[in-house]
Amino acid sequence: MPRLRLRFKFILLLLSLAVIPLLLVSILNIYNLQKAEKNNSLNLENKVAQLVTEQVKSFISMQLSVLKGIDTTFSHLLTKQLKDEFMDIFLFKNPNFVDIAILDKTGNEIIHKNAIKIFDEKDLTNRKNSPEFAQIEKSRYFIGSLYFENGIPYMQIGRQLLDHDGQFSGAIIGVIDVRIFQDVVKEIASSNNSQVYIVDQNGVVVAHSDISVVLAQKNYSKIPAIDKIINHNEEINSLDLYTNDQNQQVIGLAFPIKLNIDLVSNEILDTRLIAVSEQLGSVALYPVEQITRFSSVALILVILSSIFMTLIYSNIIISPIEKVHMAAKKLGLGDFEARVSINTKDEIEDLANSFNQMAGSLKKSIFNLEQDRQLIAAERNKLQVVLSGISDAVIAVDLQWQIILVNKAALTLTGLAAKQLLGNKLTTVVKVEDSENQIIPITSYCPIRTDNFEGVTFNQDKLKVITAKREFVANLIASQIKEGPKVNMGGILTFHDVSEQSQLEEMKLDFVSMAAHELRTPLTSIKGYLHIFLRDYAKSMDPEQTSILSRIGISTQKLVSLVENLLNVSRIEKGDLTLSLLPLDWVKNIYEVVAEIINQANDKKITLEFIKPQQSSINVIADKFRINEVLTNLLANAITYTSPGGKITVWLERKGNEVITHIQDTGEGIPKDALPHLFTKFFRVSGTLEQGSKGTGLGLYIAKSVVQLHKGKIWVNSELGKGSTFSFSLHCTNS
């Protein structure tokens, strides 16, 4: 866009002050005059359109009345011959009708006459399913859409036949020649100096003073006045200015033709025709054009006089400003000694003094900025040295996840060169997958926040990272600094390579699984043989021998449970632990589990209570065996860590589409520092709680894994010395 000098802006300002008031007055006058002329045109076009509408309505009403007269005469004729003769005479004397049929109440044609074609009895049909018969049976009258046949416009009309009791007894349907519409519009157009025509519901011209327009089947549905009625169902008779098919600016009005056939019931019939009246815009708005020309001449005179006066005073005002401009230009080119001297005793002199002060301040600021730049460069070099010494891969991205910084470890870990990383979007060079090989969206593992947040935004271990050169397993931490959005830094990602640890962990799991499998077979044999021995020789053994064998059986069962837990851990870690999900009545299931384990609580003199929920039945989808393992493990733990005389309470809580099971005990409680590790493998709480049990530390880990496989959550609230509440959630189902 070209720049305007201040001199020209000053001229434009004075011109605006002189021209705008005159322009506003002229526009107001033109608007009022245009409004008055449009009202006059509206009245004229409304009158013309209504005249066409009334004549069309009168013609159709008259033909419907003729049908009623036919009904009156036809019903008194006794023989078929008289009826045939009457209908033939009727068609001969009424050239407006070209086809007429009388139907009984079941839709069968009683008689059918046509001005050209002869119908025998075998040609008579049943028209019960025809739209015209259905409409007549429902609404008494029918007016069909106008159509052309061999260049002649026709319209189908009909009405009910009633018996002596006023009940529906049939219908009379006729086809009328509506070429009279052409004569109507031609006569009205010539007498009112307007263009008048009729279109159907699709905007196709059916009557026009120029018959060639009708024969060409021109479609005027795009004309604004017609479009409002056809496509927007608006019947407001307002004027529209548009260009007609002869490329002339016209003002037009459209009027839907509807028939009030019964004044008592106020029944309205839609003829699906629209009357349109147009007038040339040049004729309708001629006075407006005259006023516009006069106003334009006045504006030109004012502009010329304003330019003359402005040129006289512009030099006096603009010259000092030009001096300030030249000094500013020098300052922009680096001359910080540039100053300006003006003595006008006004605001321009104040502007010059302010400029001189700014130039001095700017010189000082440039010096300070140069020192800051050198300091920032030193800090950047220091950061590069620190990053190069970090063993973990570090990648920084901007607010659009474009990589802006990498360290040497990142190049080594990804196997990519710096030019393959820097400037590229992170998702194009790095793909991150979870343990189920599902791609994690970048918005999840590198969220960008704009709320001045500072800290870790994502932290997850053992993720698979894939680049074009290699794959590796890493612990990923994403963090953000609060100044990030201001300096276009979206986040910092740290990848700690744990590929070797993951391989070692997998080898350990394979070993545990193999060892557990190898141990299970001999343990099963020992357990079986011990059971048979006790069954066959229990009576012949003394109490000491029986006690020894019982302790062997208990130890064997504990070893079997340990082996089974180790196998479950192996399945969980490998993702091989599957569920058999079926509908389960959760309330009934808890009753059963509590009943099975209550003897253990009674033996220890502990009260075990299940508080009945308000709902007698809560359905879940679960693997009954696995989820009962969770429930039994939590109840067994509560019994183990609760002293005699204590109490264990089980209750359910319904939250939305979830049911939460709570198991509360009055035991020793769990130290706060142990809570974060409680659901990890092989973790056991040290101290008093450790002395009360000799477990493996796998039960809660397995419980958490099973609940998560059910898409639920498990957690604990505990206070040392007051007891613990273990809770887990399951999704409910309606069936």
Do residues 407 and 498 make contact, with C-beta atoms less than 8 angstroms apart?
A: no
Q: Which residues of 205-231 are buried (b: 16+ CB within 10 A; e: fewer)?
A: bbbbbbeeebeeebebbebebbbbbbe
Range with lowest mean pLDDT among 156-160, 276-280, 323-327, 666-670 = 323-327
Residue pLDDT, tens place only, 305-338: 767 776 666 666 677 777 777 777 877 777 777 7
Is pLDDT at 691 greater than 50 in this prediction?
A: no
Do residues 655 and 712 make contact, with C-beta atoms less than 8 angstroms apart?
A: no
Is pLDDT at 4 greater than 60 in this prediction?
A: no
Helix (H) or strand (E) holding 474: strand 471-480
> What would the two tokens of residue 594 be?
């509590």
Is pLDDT at 688 greater than 70 in this prediction?
A: no
What is the reported pLDDT for 413?
81
Which is higher by pLDDT, 76 or 111? 111
Is pLDDT at 166 greater than 60 in this prediction?
A: yes
Rounded CA gap, 227 and 528, in Å? 92
Q: What mean pLDDT do residues 626-652 have?
A: 91
Is pLDDT at 86 greater than 80 in this prediction?
A: yes
Q: What percent of the chain stands above pLDDT 90?
A: 13
What domains lie within the chain, and their CATH numbers?
70-179 (3.30.450.20), 392-497 (3.30.450.20), 504-570 (1.10.287), 579-731 (3.30.565.10)
Q: What single string gives the DSSP state of each residue in 328-391?
A: HHHHHTT-TT-------SSHHHHHHHHHHHHHHHHHHHHHHHHHHHHHHHHHHHHHHHHHHT-S
Which is higher by pLDDT, 97 or 305? 97
What is the reported pLDDT for 5?
65
Please give the mean pLDDT across all residues of the chain. Answer: 80
Which strands sit side by side in the sheet containing 431-433, from one edge to the other?
403-406, 393-397, 491-497, 471-480, 455-466, 431-433
Q: Is 33 helix (H, G, I), strand (E, B) or coil?
A: helix
Sign of torsion, CA 691 692 698 704? negative
Count of C-beta atoms within a 10 Å radius of residue 102: 22
Using alpha carbons only, give the angle 148, 149, 152 rounded to the nearest 5 degrees: 70
Rounded CA gap, 620 and 618, in Å? 7
Closest CA to 698 of 609, 567, 608, 597: 567
Residue pLDDT, tens place only, 496-521: 888 776 666 666 655 555 555 555 56
State the residue for tokens 């605001």. Answer: 347
- To the question of pTM greater than 0.75 for the whole model, the response is no
Query: Residues with Cβ < 8 Å from 68, sequence gap 6 or more?
Result: 159
Query: Residues with Cβ < 8 Å from 151, sequence gap 6 or more?
Result: 215
State the residue for tokens 């309708």. Answer: 284
* E-assigned strand segments in 125-167: 141-143, 147-149, 152-162
